[in-house]
A and B are shown apart, each in its own frame.
Chain A
Amino acid sequence: MVKILTPLYKLIVTVFLAFLSLPGYTADKKTLHYPKYEIEPRVIAADTYVIAGENDDFNKSNGCNIINTGFIVTNNGVLVINSGPSKLYGTQQRMAIEAITAKPIRFVLNLNLHPDYFFGNQSYSDIPIGATAKTIAGMTREGNAYADNLYHICGDWMAGTESKPASQSINPAGNELSKFNDAEHQFKLIELNGHTSSDLVLIDTKARIAFVGGLVFSHRIVTTPHANIKEWLASLNQLTKIIDDNQINVIVPSHGDIEFGMRGITETRNYLVWLDTLLLKSAESGLDLNEVIKTPIPSQFQDFAALKPEFLRNVIQLYPQYERNVFSK
């Protein structure tokens, strides 16, 4: 009896093992039970690290990690810039920081109200987390809707994530980061707007680095759920001046390629000017929303990341205001 069964048993085991090793199955198993972000801190200046996200749209394969976060190791502790799209990201980001330095994490900054800037905050519940008052109000107002959306797109990656707005309201003029200043670093916060109603920029005038948040999209189509193009363009002019005045060498945009951050300012400006003109002209000639979304996109923006979904969102979000302006003329 045993002799007859053995070959059959072997066959069953072999088939079962073969099934386990199918690529689809193992990949699923990995994302379902052991999701792990690619968190590889990169040094961009003395003690200054960037963790690059994918230059793409939110999707399940990148775990909604499309943001560039960072941290700076000073003599007075570590300063973290943005906590990422999920609790899991925050935890893995914190582990990565703690693997690099023994210095304690002293402060986390959320540069604006969008979810990938602050959804890792739960992993820093023992540390003060700062954002501007406007940003905190926005996080409080919209956090739950963000969570619904990201759970919908990224599922298991979001496990356990809840919206936890920043705990401290910071006044950029108050120079609250001066406690981190040392021989290598001198920090300054500047509040601009346009991408959202409050876009915080962190500059380190000694290391000559600027974390420019959502104001700059490097080789990527901008996101506009809270945008005001006129204010945004004015902020980009101010930002250019700040960069010149402080002889900043490297800028870290929240989205897109870090290597070409400076070029990102020009790209973002050019795209915004094109978009503003398109929406204005379309509204003045009486086009409906559905006709505007079919507009061909100029070749200079064709290879930007997230082109199709973001252009569609840009138009859907912004065009109704242009239409209303024309109706009331």
Chain B
Amino acid sequence: MSKLILAFCICLTTLVSPLASATTIESGKDPYQSAAWLSLKKEYLANQTFVFDDRVKVSGPEFAEDALNVPIKFDATELTSKSNPILKIMVLVDRNPIRKVLVYQPLKFEPILSFRIKLEQASPIRVLAQTKDKVWHVGSTWVESAGGGCTLPTGSRADGSWSESLNQVQTKYFVSQDQNSIRLRARIMHPMDTGLVSGIPSFHIESLEIRDKNNAIWMKLAIFEPISENPTLSFDLPANTPKENLVLVGNDNNGNLIRNEILW
């Protein structure tokens, strides 16, 4: 009897698995051979096409000196083109308890972003850029860590000062001497609680947008718990961007609003 069931199971798996894998098309090999990537792929790339692609450049420190503030930058400019532009970019961390970090739609901005994350342990950091043809291009880097980033209370939470500065925004433009590079940096005061510290529920910024005076959206950013306290973000703008006064708007998961005029 049991043999019969076993045989049935084997038949079932041989039947089902080729069907399942036929819908997710992948090429290339995970450079870090991470076991967690298998489930990450199942969760975020099921039924989609993806390729490991060096044109999505990801950089971070070799070691997470401060596990609460691990600086990461991605640059996918080599990948994007007029005919096949990047639609969105998703950042995932294989071995974090909360693995989704952000989803960026650069729209009028360059597909480049610098940010800081909390890292629970040594892990690959994945940056997945989806081009217009619906293909995901995966770039990765590896950061070593002694650990503890996601399950530690952040500084302003520990000293209780967060409520005085919640959602205050500072922004600044930096233009290189040759005018070819325009950078916009923003710092938003928020405790960014992961919900993984006992007694402190998840409390984080959910969405940020930059709009112009006609309410046209220049960039959209969804951010999640692993982004560090008081998110500090560096956006890059195309060289010929006109000097318009833009506005940064957003909200956190408790409904608190963020709004700030970005002045030149």
A contact set with B: CB distance below 8 Å:
152, 285-286, 288-291, 293-294, 308-309, 312-313, 316-317, 320, 323-324, 326-329
Contact = CB atoms under 8 A, between A and B. Distances in A.
Given A286-B185, A293-B61, A152 B71 contact: no
B63 A309 contact: yes
Q: Is the interface of A mostly helix, strand, loop or mixed?
A: helix
A39 to B, nearest CB: 28
20 contacts: A152-B146, A285-B176, A286-B172, A288-B234, A289-B71, A289-B114, A289-B232, A290-B59, A290-B60, A290-B61, A290-B72, A293-B61, A309-B65, A312-B63, A312-B65, A316-B66, A323-B185, A323-B187, A323-B232, A327-B187
A312 B172 contact: no
Contacts of A309: 63, 65
Nearest to A319: B71
Contacts, number: 60
Interface string B201-233: 000000000000000000000000000000010
B80 to A, nearest CB: 20
A132 to B, nearest CB: 24
Interface residues of B, number: 24
Nearest 5 A-B pairs (CB), nearest first? A286-B174, A288-B114, A290-B71, A289-B71, A327-B170
Given A289-B116, A290-B71, A316-B66, A326 B172 contact: yes
A288 B60 CA distance: 11
Contacts of A328: 170
B39 to A, nearest CB: 27
Given A316-B69, A317-B66, A320-B232, 14 more contacts: A285-B174, A288-B71, A289-B69, A289-B114, A291-B73, A291-B114, A293-B61, A309-B63, A312-B62, A316-B65, A316-B66, A323-B185, A323-B187, A329-B172
A92 to B, nearest CB: 27
A312 B61 CA distance: 8
Residue in B61, B62, B73, B170 with the greatest tally of chain A CB atoms within 10 Å: B61
Contacts of B116: 289
B109 to A, nearest CB: 15
A290 B73 contact: yes
Contacts of A312: 61-63, 65
Nearest to B181: A286
A194 to B, nearest CB: 21
Residue in A294, A313, A316 with the greatest tally of chain B CB atoms within 10 Å: A316
A323 B59 CA distance: 20
B259 interface: no
A245 to B, nearest CB: 39
Contact of B172 (A288, A294, A327): A327
A317 B61 CA distance: 13
B183 interface: yes
Contact of B185 (A293, A316, A327): A327
A291 B74 CA distance: 11
A294 B185 CA distance: 19
